[in-house]
């Protein structure tokens, strides 16, 4: 016996909605990208990533090339001006973007992988494994990354970008591991994890499919924080002259500007573009971090709205700095009859 599609729809109402995800589900998937802060941060970060790839190719001049245009202000020929040797600052900014982005991404990825492996494993397994991995995290937690890089750079002839990124990544995972361990300890006793364990699921499958999806926001936030720290550390090392000054990055530009007294000479164009590039990159990463926080927390998600609509259709005006708490509607209080009404009723009954 065959059934027509119309009869199937009558037996199973809404089967079309079951076959395809609803519009609300699709909107939920792209809620993070729809956030204004996250979208702005991702757009700026995409521009930086593009410049890191094609920057050396589109640079109008060789960043090391000298010319007779010494300490020239920004012009049509040199958009960001020139240095005391006639070097084009705009070309130095474009070429230096690759070093900054590469160091930040390598250090962020390495630190994130280590924090996830150690923190989630310690929180889920517990016992001796938890104590050993927690002790290891405590040891790396007190190791200062910047002084260690300075010591290693003084021992190595040419401290390249890869070495700096590896040291930052290997010394920046401990804090994220402790946060992930605390969250895993809370998740391991949830009902869905206990159900998966009771059905005989393997440990790696429980961690990968039941626990890690609930830690995505924390992992992403830790990655963004590590990238910010790595970028600032790499620029700081170049600015104080620890890393190689022959390879261009934004810290190297500031190093030469400070060494040649650019501020005293009034050559503001020598250090302002590099400073703005650093500030804009930090702003983009901070906006992404704010977007992650608002994506995870519904309270922060509605914090920027001045008016919100409740479930019963009421519109509530928000006050800046206050968390909205909607009180339930008060039940109507029955009216008590006055003594005069009672007396009048008693007289009517007596009559």
Q: Where are the domains of the chain?
A: 32-66+78-300
What pLDDT, on a 0 to 100 scale, did the predictor assign at position 343? 55
Residue by residue, pLDDT tens for the chain (351 residues) are 454 444 444 444 444 444 445 555 555 556 666 778 888 999 999 999 999 999 889 999 988 888 888 888 898 888 999 998 889 999 999 999 998 999 999 999 999 999 999 999 999 988 888 899 999 998 888 888 778 877 877 777 666 788 888 888 888 899 899 999 999 998 888 888 888 888 888 888 888 888 888 888 889 888 998 899 889 888 888 888 777 767 888 989 999 998 888 888 888 999 999 999 999 999 999 898 888 877 776 665 555 455 666 666 676 665 544 445 555 555 555 555 545 545 555 555 555
* Residue that is written with structure tokens 């022959």 in the block: 246
CATH superfamily of this structure's domain 32-66+78-300 = MetI-like (1.10.3720.10)
Instruction: Provide the token pair at 38.
Output: 């996250």
Please tell me the distance from the alpha carbon of residue 201 to that of residue 165, in angstroms, as a whole number.
37
Query: Residue 189: its pLDDT value, please?
Result: 85
Angle at 284 between CA 150 and CA 244, to 5 degrees: 25
> Taking Cα atoms as reference points, which of 234, 222, 216 lies closest to residue 176?
222
Contacts of 113 (CB under 8 A, 6+ apart): none
Residue found under tokens 């500007």: 257
Q: In 126-206, which residue ranges form alpha helices assigned H by DSSP?
A: 127-141, 145-155, 161-170, 174-187, 191-198, 203-206
For residues 228 and 176, the answer to whether their CB atoms sit within 8 Å is no
Place of tokens 């007779």: 68
Residues in contact with 329: Cβ distance below 8 Å, sequence separation at least 6, in sequence order: none
Tell me the three state secondary structure of residue 47.
helix
Containing H/E element for 12?
Answer: none
In whole angstroms, give the CA distance from residue 229 to residue 334. Answer: 64
Hey, how many other C-beta atoms are within 10 angstroms of the C-beta on 163?
Answer: 16
């Amino acid at each position: 016996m065959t059934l027509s599609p119309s009869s199937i729809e009558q037996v199973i109402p809404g089967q079309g909605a079951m076959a395809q995800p609803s519009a609300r589900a699709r909107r939920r998937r792209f809620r993070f990208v729809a956030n204004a802060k996250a979208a702005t941060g991702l757009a700026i970060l995409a521009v930086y990533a593009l410049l890191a790839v094609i920057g050396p190719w589109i640079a109008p001049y060789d960043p090391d090339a000298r010319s007779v245009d010494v300490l020239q202000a920004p012009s049509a020929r040199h958009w960001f001006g020139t240095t005391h040797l006639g070097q084009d600052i705009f070309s130095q900014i474009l070429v230096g973007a690759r070093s900054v982005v590469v160091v930040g991404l390598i250090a962020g990825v390495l630190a994130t992988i280590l924090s996830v492996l150690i923190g989630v494993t310690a929180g889920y397994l517990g016992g001796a494994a938890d104590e050993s991995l927690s002790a290891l995290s405590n040891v790396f937690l007190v190791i200062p990354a910047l002084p260690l890089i300075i010591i290693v750079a003084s021992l190595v002839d040419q401290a390249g970008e890869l070495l700096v990124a590896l040291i930052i990544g290997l010394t920046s995972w401990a804090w994220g591991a402790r946060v992930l361990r605390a969250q895993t300890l809370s998740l391991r006793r949830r009902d869905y994890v206990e159900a998966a364990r009771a059905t005989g699921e393997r440990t790696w499958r429980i961690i990968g499919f039941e626990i890690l999806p609930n830690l995505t926001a924390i992992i992403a936030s830790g990655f963004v924080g590590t990238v910010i720290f790595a970028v600032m550390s790499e620029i700081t090392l170049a600015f104080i002259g620890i890393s190689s000054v022959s390879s261009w990055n934004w810290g190297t530009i500031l190093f030469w500007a400070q060494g040649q007294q650019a501020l005293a000479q009034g050559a503001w164009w020598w250090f302002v573009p590099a400073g703005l590039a650093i500030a804009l990159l930090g702003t983009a990463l901070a906006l992404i971090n704010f977007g992650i926080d608002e994506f995870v927390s519904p309270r922060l998600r509605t914090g920027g709205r001045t008016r919100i609509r409740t479930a019963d259709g009421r519109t509530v005006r928000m006050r800046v700095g206050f968390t909205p708490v909607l009180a339930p509607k008060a039940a109507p209080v029955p009216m008590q009859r006055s003594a005069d009404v009672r007396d009048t009723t008693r007289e009517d009954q007596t009559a």
